[in-house]
Amino acid sequence: MSNEVIDTILNHRSIRKFKDVALTEKQIETIVSSAQMASTSSYIQAYTIIGVKNKETKARLAELAGNQSYVEKNGHFFVFCADLHRHEIAGQMEKVDVGPSLESTEKFMVAIVDTTLAAQNATLAAESMGLGICYIGGIRNEIEEVSNLLKLPEYVIPLFGLAVGHPDGDTEKKPRLPMANVYHEEVYEQDNAKFVEQLQNYNETISNYYNRRTGGKRTDRWTEQMANMLKTPRRMQINEFLKKKGFMRS
């Protein structure tokens, strides 16, 4: 099955090099309106999007995100924030104590989900206009500094950035896990040997993919990549930071 939406979705690749062309106000508005029309849990709309144009702020964000040049050099940089501050204000306006709810793990999850649904709409709207995107989880490296830089109040945290712009060059699509490994019917796959075999087959796919792309310089397996990434726990300060901001206290 094919249509413009499915083609846009299936054609996705992350873009890490952008031309020096700023998004127009109209493009920004279309991206934000698209984000806002995503589904939202009980109408809570638990996010705020900060658009960053200031060169110094962008340079500082790039530095905090681990020196990723495309955080600084792009058409526009959005920071998607999980946000329950608005709901604290709503509680004050209605004279209702909403604190214990806002501080629950459930509402933290709701805020992350709402924010991410909105972001993926933003992404597809941007890609449909011929723009490229890259999500920037790296802003959580120094989550507290990023939060201070953007002057986020209590009950608001920066979840990820989204660099958007006119692609400078193309990149290749990366093959995903075998569908049978990701999509199970009725219950979670109970056959562990089958599960492992699927990952081994995927390892071969990925190893060949890197081999081909790098002319033999890289041949890493997917499980190898994952094990390398996961052997050292990272961003361990986040739990404490979240609690400080009012989240996930119970």
Binding residues for its own copies restricted to 15-74, rule: CB under 8 A = 26-30, 32-39, 41-45, 47-54, 57
Rounded CA separation 244/119 (Å): 25
Element (H, E) at 62: helix 55-64
- Nearest CA to 75 out of 136, 21, 16, 132 is that of 21
Count of chain residues binding its own copies (CB under 8 A): 121
222 binds its own copies (CB under 8 A): yes
Bridge partners of 82?
A: 47, 157
Q: In the bound complex, what is the minimum distance in angstroms from residue 109's beta carbon to its own copies? A: 6
Among 172, 190, 215, 217, binds its own copies (CB under 8 A): 190
Among 62, 133, 146, 164, binds its own copies (CB under 8 A): 133
Q: Which amino acid is at 77?
A: F
201 binds its own copies (CB under 8 A): no
Place of tokens 């104590």: 97
170 binds its own copies (CB under 8 A): no
Rounded CA separation 125/32 (Å): 9
110 binds its own copies (CB under 8 A): yes
205 binds its own copies (CB under 8 A): no
- Nearest CA to 132 out of 1, 9, 16 is that of 16
Q: In the bound complex, what is the minimum distance in angstroms from residue 216's beta carbon to its own copies? A: 20
Among 23, 61, 65, 152, binds its own copies (CB under 8 A): 152
